[in-house]
């Protein structure tokens, strides 16, 4: 039986694609973005998290191993909400493409049940994996972080070459894509990076819109609870005016833009 490792299943999600959705968070990611607000999604295995309580420190496991049928049963519970709102299921993480067999089997079941399926991805995966997954998707939410290869490697731990090639691959298919840009002050929100993202995205035909994701500190506490170092602990969210100016630049390029997904 095909099984996958997840760290969260979020019901009634409103920012991970159209309508009311169930978002499934896959555990494990090949990148290590400094600003990641889901550090429990990086390691592919279940982990122990500590929590301080009034009666002392307790330990809890984050991450569950689930079979395809069990996950589908969970997703299917809200099918009436999906039908009413034009929603569905979104597969996020971590990086769902890092568990390709499980993802493909879950998507096949969603397709069979006519549940709208979206993939929220970093785009870092072998092209052959993407080719198998892509025909099963109705929407891709694609993170585009840093266009300069050296800077991408510096802040995410990996080159962006595969990421950009995969985005071109998706845009060459029939699957619509939304570009998601994390706005990390001093790292991704510089004029040159935003200009290069706009230039690149304009060469792609199936980009439906842009989601700007301003940096926030929610989730910072999880680093401590996992025994990890939060290198962005002192960073502040971007100024509202800065976010508005970037939004305007994307809108001027012809896209509808949302803030926060
Ligand atoms: S790609 Fe997403 S999940 Fe992976 S490290 Fe970066 S922000 Fe975190």
Chain segment 85-100, per-residue pLDDT in tens: 999 999 999 999 999 9
Asked if pLDDT for residue 261 goes beyond 80, the answer is no
CB 63 near ligand 1, within 6 Å: no
Domain boundaries, the chain: 3-259
pLDDT at 52: 86
pLDDT at 38 over 90: yes
> DSSP letters along 238-249, please?
PPHHHHHHHHHH
Rounded distance between C-alpha atoms, residue 170 and residue 153, angstroms:
22
**Helical (H) or strand (E) element with 257:** strand 256-259
* C-beta of 121 in contact with ligand 1 (< 6 A): no
Question: What is the rounded CA–CA span in Å between residue 64 and residue 8?
Answer: 8
Confidence check: pLDDT of 122 > 90? yes
CB-based contact 104:141 (threshold 8 Å): no
Question: What DSSP letter does each residue of 180-225 carry, written as one string?
Answer: EEEE-TTTT-SHHHHHHHHHHHHT-S-EEEEEEEE---TTHHHHHH
Question: What secondary structure letter does DSSP report for 231?
Answer: T
CA geometry: angle 142, 149, 141, nearest 5 deg:
0
Q: Is the pLDDT of residue 219 over 90?
A: no
Eight-state DSSP code of residue 251: H
Probe ligand 1: pick from 25, 33, 166, max atoms within 8 Å of CB? Answer: 33
Q: Write the secondary structure of 142-180 as one string of H (helix), E (strand) and C (coil).
A: EECCCCCHHHHHHHHCCCCHHHHHHHHHHHCCCCCEEEE
Mean pLDDT confidence for 198-208: 95
Cβ 123 under 6 angstroms from ligand 1: no
Cβ(35)–Cβ(238) below 8 Å: no
Specify the range with the lowest mean pLDDT, choosing from 61-70, 150-159, 216-225: 216-225
pTM, 2 dp: 0.96
Rounding to the nearest 10 degrees, give the CA dihedral for residues 109, 27, 48, 15.
-90
Pocket residue to mutate for ligand 1, from 16, 24, 34, 38, most atoms within 8 A of Cβ: 38
Residue 87 dihedral angles phi and psi, to the nearest 5°: -95, -155
* 3-259: in CATH 3.20.20.70: yes
Q: Does 1 score more than 80 pLDDT?
A: no
Residues 201 and 181: beta-carbon distance below 8 Å: no
51 has a pLDDT exceeding 90: no
**Other residues' Cβ atoms within 10 Å of the Cβ of residue 205:** 8
């Amino acid at each position: 039986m095909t099984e996958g490792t997840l760290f969260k299943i979020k019901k009634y999600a409103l920012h991970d694609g159209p309508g009311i959705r169930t978002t499934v968070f896959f555990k494990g990611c090949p990148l290590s973005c400094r600003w990641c607000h889901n550090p429990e999604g990086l390691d592919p295995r279940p982990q122990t998290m500590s929590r301080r309580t009034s009666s002392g420190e307790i330990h809890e496991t984050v991450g569950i191993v689930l079979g395809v049928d069990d996950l589908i049963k969970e997703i299917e519970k809200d099918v009436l909400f999906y039908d009413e709102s034009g929603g569905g299921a979104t597969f996020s993480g971590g990086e769902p493409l890092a568990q390709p067999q499980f993802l493909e089997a879950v998507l096949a079941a969603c397709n069979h049940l006519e549940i709208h399926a979206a993939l929220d991805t970093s785009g870092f995966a072998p092209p052959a994996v993407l080719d198998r997954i892509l025909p099963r998707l109705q929407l891709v939410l694609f993170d585009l972080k840093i266009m300069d290869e050296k800077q991408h490697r510096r802040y995410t731990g990996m080159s962006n070459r595969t990421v950009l090639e995969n985005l071109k691959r998706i845009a060459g298919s029939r699957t619509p894509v939304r570009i998601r840009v994390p706005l990390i002050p001093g790292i991704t929100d510089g004029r040159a990076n935003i200009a290069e993202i706009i230039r690149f995205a304009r060469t792609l035909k199936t980009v439906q819109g842009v989601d700007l994701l301003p940096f926030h500190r929610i989730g910072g506490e999880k680093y401590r609870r996992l025994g990890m170092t939060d290198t962005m602990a002192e960073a502040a969210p971007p100024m509202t005016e800065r976010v508005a100016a970037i939004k305007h630049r994307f809108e001027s390029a012809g896209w509808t833009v949302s803030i926060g997904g």
